[in-house]
Amino acid sequence: MKRLVDGNARYVAGKPQEADYSAGRLKRATGQQPFAAIVACSDSRVVPELVFDQGPGELFIVRVAGNFIDENGLASLEFATAVLGVKLILVLGHASCGAVQATITSIKDNTLPPGHLPSLVNAIRPAVYEAMRSNPSDLLAAASDQNVKLNAKLAQTAGPILSERAAAGQLKSAAAMYDIGTGKVTFL
């Protein structure tokens, strides 16, 4: 976790590490050893490698609009932990998430968006309902926070691989929110 916190501090300060990405290319061609897996939104403004000032091969990234974990995400995280040895999963949300807002709109209007978008809405819906219970002044922010918390919990309880590793103390998960305007990541 410290590497992520320190990397984000460098990013926010505008003082990234000097990196020669081509120098490690041959080593990376023989395999990868990421120290953390990040479940992040597909939003083009959220780039975990930049946000945490990490180079190629250091983070295993799973991206989907709305930063939730579904069957494919679970399979990817199981690969990261069982095959690559990752011991930390961070679910990273961000301010003003369009997928979370679409879910709020869908619930309030009692409608579903077109195409395959209902799968996103249905995955995020539990977080929105949970946030609505507290009647927050900013439902989007509260639902976004709740979404990363619920998915970070899932990253530790989904069986068989993740839950077994978590129970054995070999896997931790965390939730965090990224502020696109400041670049700061707040761990929840």
Q: Identify whether 22 is part of a domain.
A: no
- What pLDDT was estimated at residue 29? 79
User: In which domain, by residue range, is 168 found?
Assistant: 2-16+28-187
Q: Identify whether 43 is part of a domain.
A: yes
- What pLDDT was estimated at residue 184? 98
CA gap 93, 137 in Å, rounded = 19
Q: Identify whether 132 is part of a domain.
A: yes
3-state secondary structure of 147: helix
- What pLDDT was estimated at residue 186? 98
- What pLDDT was estimated at residue 96? 96
Q: Identify whether 21 is part of a domain.
A: no
CA gap 77, 136 in Å, rounded = 32
Q: Identify whether 165 is part of a domain.
A: yes
- In this structure, what CATH number is given to the domain that contains residue 94? 3.40.1050.10
Q: Identify whether 125 is part of a domain.
A: yes
* 109 annotated as ligand-binding: no
How many domains does the chain contain in total?
Answer: 1
* 97 annotated as ligand-binding: yes
pTM of the model: 0.94
Q: Identify whether 36 is part of a domain.
A: yes
Q: What is the pLDDT along the chain (188 residues), one digit of tens a residue?
A: 999 999 999 999 999 998 766 777 777 777 889 999 999 999 999 999 999 999 999 999 999 999 999 999 999 999 999 999 999 999 999 999 999 999 999 999 999 999 999 999 999 999 999 999 999 999 999 999 999 999 999 999 999 999 999 999 999 999 999 999 999 999 99
Q: Identify whether 23 is part of a domain.
A: no
CA gap 22, 122 in Å, rounded = 41
